[in-house]
Structure 1
Amino acid sequence: MTDNQLNDWRAKALQFEQQINGIVIGQPSVIRNIVLAVFARGHVLLEGQVGVGKTTLLRAIAHGLGGDYQRVEGTIDLMPADLVYYTYLDEAGKPRVDPGPLLKQGSRLATFFFNEINRARPQVHSLLLRAMAERSINAFNRDYEFPHMQVFADRNRVEKEETFELPAAAKDRFMFEIGMTTPTDDTVLDELMFNQRFHDVDRLVAGMETGGIAYYELNDLAVMLQENIQGTPKLRAYALALWKASHYPQDYGIELTDVDMSALLQAGASPRGMSYFIRAAKVRAWLEGRDALLPEDLQAVYPVTMAHRIFLSPMYAYRKDELMPELINGILNQIAAP
């Protein structure tokens, strides 16, 4: 792929981002991170209240990319087999078995949305882990491939009844954890309340232009991006220090109020997280029109890539919402950029 082709793709990506910003208003940082994940080919965990536009956002993503879209509702009684097939009686009263949401579209499946993933049982998470890691599952004594599938999962933190905490292995499969909150700008809120355009989601999404980006070309594009965007030795050393600080923040002079830093962490970000971190930063550099990484690329994606991979010790876990942002900011502020 030539530089001109990469520039053409960049123009398409920015247009894609602009279109989504016209459908889901007041969420520019969320949409930018989603676009980064799309072109870095990483799965995304969305966290937000009900009704903030998560489903509308993902429908717009799916519509813009083409391919097929499936959605699953996480419930306490959902079983792994429910993702693979479902059984029913046909009009003649005979039992039937039809493909479930993972198999229904076959290799055309591009966007898979798991709503309220924390309401599903750990057994369901296990099946999803394989689908996310290998983009394939085994069913009916054969393997089914989903080469273009990207998983977006939503976690509702408001209601805790009948929920299961995601295991570390499941969290680590997601490139990003993105928080999506209600917009606070009065102009945006006025539009959402009184502009009829935003009251009919089906019509809103259907009005989005499609065909500019082909989902089946994204894997090859992602490989080319990673090969074309490079960093200097000093930049690479800076990235390594940011990752190490997620394990040993005290070694970098990072301190938090009323915290014993040597006892703060149970585990830091995984090597997989380090890989995702660099992949996402390279895509950001490309979207900014550069062929080289800069510190601001790393800093922009560090919170959404690393925060859900850092695990606090039990004595501090109850303060996670307070301490994690402080820790992330401390790392970014304390470690000098080249």
Structure 2
Amino acid sequence: MTTQEVTQLLNKLPALRQEISKIIVGQQEVLDEVLITLLAGGHGLLEGVPGLAKTLLVRTLASAVDLPFRRIQFTPDLMPTDILGTEVLEEDHTTGKRFFQFNEGPIFASIVLADEINRTPPKTQAALLEAMQEFEVTYAGKTYPLPRPFFLLATQNPIEQSGTYPLPEAQLDRFLLYIKIKYPTELEEISVLKSTTGGKREAVQPILSGDEILALQSLVREVSISDELVAYAARIVRATRPAESSVPFVQEFVRWGAGPRAGQALILTAKARALLQGRFAVTLPDLQTMAYPVLRHRVLVNFTAEADHITTDKVVEELLKGVELPREVLR
């Protein structure tokens, strides 16, 4: 890829953000994290109370890229075959022979919205594990590849709301980022009310193609990161584990720390953040900013922390204070 082609590709990222912002008011941090997830080639879990435009955000993103999009509404009676697909008995009218034909489910799309994923039991949630990790589906002993790029965004309401099932840790770990959507500011909420109660509605135009997204995902991996920052990322992840951590806050309030996949996610999303900002080198703020959405679903706090209302975000905050900074920063 030539320098001119790279420049043209990177220039489309601000245009993509602007196109999505036609519909989504504010929430710039959330939008950046969703785009970082897409650029890094992973999957995102969005959490927020009802009415914060989680589904609208994913639909708008799907409209702004030229890729097949499917939405799966998760309900308590949803079955794994409703997601993956199923075999149907067919008959060849010329020979009279019968055979099983696999009918693809809604998971066979480039952008998939798993809407309210925590409203279905763990058995159905687990149907996504292979698709999210291996980008393929196995049914009746046969493996079917998913289209590339494949990008799954799941939404969920907070666990304390009625009728929800907590996602298992293995399922949570498959999500690259855990993105929390907060209430809008007063000015943003006024803007939302104006834009959604009138007769005019903005049209979203596709900005990126599938091939361009794949090219950007390859470009993300070419972003440079110093050995000292890699070591710093490893120290952050290792410090989440109480048995290895030198951070007293972790020793007191963390039950279980993050695994090596968290370090991979931290570096990869830091690279994606740098590229999103037009840089080809990771900086310390990239790693520190991405530590929150990378670790908040990979660190398990203990009962003491729950009793004191200490969240994983607070754990990450204390981690960043307690972990030794890279020497290149201290010089």
Distance verdict in 2 for CA 1:51–1:234, change over 3 Å: same
Higher helix share: 1
RMSD: 2.6
Q: Where do 5+ consecutive residues of structure 1 fail to align?
A: 89-95, 104-108, 256-260
Judge which range, 188-197 or 16-25, deviates more: 188-197
Partner amino acid for 2:208?
I
- Percent identity among equivalent residues? 27
- Count of residues in Structure 1 that have an aligned counterpart in Structure 2: 313
Equivalent residue of 1:195, what SS?
helix
Instruction: Give TM-score scaled by structure 2 length.
Output: 0.86
Match in the other structure for 2:298: 309
Looking at structure 2, the residues matched to 183 and 249 of structure 1 have their Cα atoms a distance apart, in angstroms, of 39
Alpha-carbon distance change, 2 to 268 in structure 1, aligned in 2, over 3 angstroms: farther
Q: Is 2:301–2:311's contact at 8 Å kept on the other side of the alignment?
A: no
2:169 corresponds in structure 1 to 168
Distance 2:218 2:307 in 1: 40
Q: Would the alpha carbon gap of residues 198 and 28 (structure 1) be closer, same or farther in structure 2, given more than 3 Å must change? A: farther
Residue number in structure 2 paired with 1:288: 277
Aligned pairs (5 A) from 1:18-167: 18-85=18-85, 99-103=104-108, 109-139=109-139, 142-146=142-146, 147-157=148-158, 160-167=161-168
Q: For residue 96 of structure 2, what is the aligned residue in structure 1?
A: none
The change in CA–CA distance for 1:213 and 1:97 in structure 2 (over 3 A counts) is closer
Match of 1:246 in 2: 240
Query: Secondary structure at 1:284's aligned position in 2?
Result: helix
Distance change in 2, residues 1:251/1:67 (3 Å): closer
The SS at the match of 1:153 is: strand
- Cα deviation 1:86-128 (Å, max 9, x = unaligned): 799xxxxxxx99643224xxxxx11111111111111112210
Secondary structure of 2:281's match? Answer: coil
Identify the residue that residue 216 of structure 2 maps to in structure 1: 221
Structure 2 unaligned spans of 5+: 89-100
Tell me, yes or no, if the aligned pair for 1:172 and 1:270 is still in contact at 8 Å. no
Shift of 1:188: 1.8
Shift of the 224–195 alpha-carbon distance from structure 1 to 2, 3 Å rule, reads: closer
Paired with 1:284 and 1:155, the residues of 2 have a C-alpha distance of 24
After TM superposition, the structure 1 = structure 2 runs for residues 252-331 of structure 1, keeping only pairs within 5 Å, are: 252-255=246-249, 261-319=250-308, 322-331=310-319
Given the two structures, how large is their TM-score scaled by the length of structure 1?
Answer: 0.84
| Aligned residue identity for 1:277 | L
Q: Which residue does the alignment assign to 1:93?
A: none
